[in-house]
């Protein structure tokens, strides 16, 4: 197992006992990413479109540590806090993944960070298994 980033610290200084991303066995597992600013200072301004874009940017930054991109993702699991955001979420998602998006599961759930509208986790392929 190879962590791709140091353990997470929330904007309020609390350390979270998780690895943002782990590379193992030809795969990278990215922990749930929220719509945080790139510097981790808090959630991006705006609504579901902005938070979805930021969450995907955060996933891509972690994947870049393994010389990967969003194109390497094979599975996304996501949580929305409001079902009415699903359409706008899908619009941003489609822009980022194009004609062959990864497999995906989505649920509606409360999130632990106040103001967070979306959380996304990903599994990416490092090498082809075919």
**Core vs surface per residue 89-127: b (16+ CB within 10 A) or e:** beebbeeebeeeebeeebeeeeeeeeebbbbbbbbbbbe
Q: What pTM was computed for the model?
A: 0.91
Is the pLDDT at 129 greater than 70, yes or no? no
Report the distance separating Cα 56 and Cα 54, nearest Å: 5
Confidence of residue 15 (pLDDT cuts 50, 70, 90): confident
Report the distance separating Cα 50 and Cα 32, nearest Å: 16
pLDDT in tens, 28-68: 999 999 999 998 888 999 999 999 999 999 999 999 999 99
Average the pLDDT over 12-22 and give the result: 87
Domains and CATH numbers, the chain: 21-125 (3.30.1330.40)
DSSP 6: P
* CB burial of residue 54 (10 Å; 0-12, 13-18, 19+): buried
Which tokens sit at 46?
């705006």
Q: What angle do CA 12, 60, 44 make, to 5 degrees?
A: 40
pLDDT in tens, 62-92: 999 999 999 999 999 999 999 999 999 999 9
pLDDT in tens, 89-121: 999 999 999 899 999 999 999 999 999 999 999
């Amino acid at each position: 197992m190879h962590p791709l980033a140091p353990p997470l610290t929330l904007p309020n200084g609390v350390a979270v006992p998780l690895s943002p991303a782990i590379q193992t066995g030809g795969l990278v597992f990215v922990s749930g990413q929220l719509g945080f600013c790139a510097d981790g200072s808090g959630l991006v301004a705006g609504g579901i479109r902005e938070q979805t874009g930021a969450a995907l940017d955060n996933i891509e930054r972690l994947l870049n540590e393994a010389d990967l991109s969003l194109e390497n993702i094979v599975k996304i699991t996501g949580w929305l806090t409001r079902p009415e955001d699903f359409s706008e979420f899908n619009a941003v998602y489609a822009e980022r993944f194009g004609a062959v998006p990864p497999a995906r599961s989505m649920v509606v759930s409360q999130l632990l960070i106040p103001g967070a509208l979306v959380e996304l986790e990903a599994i990416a392929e490092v090498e082809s298994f075919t």
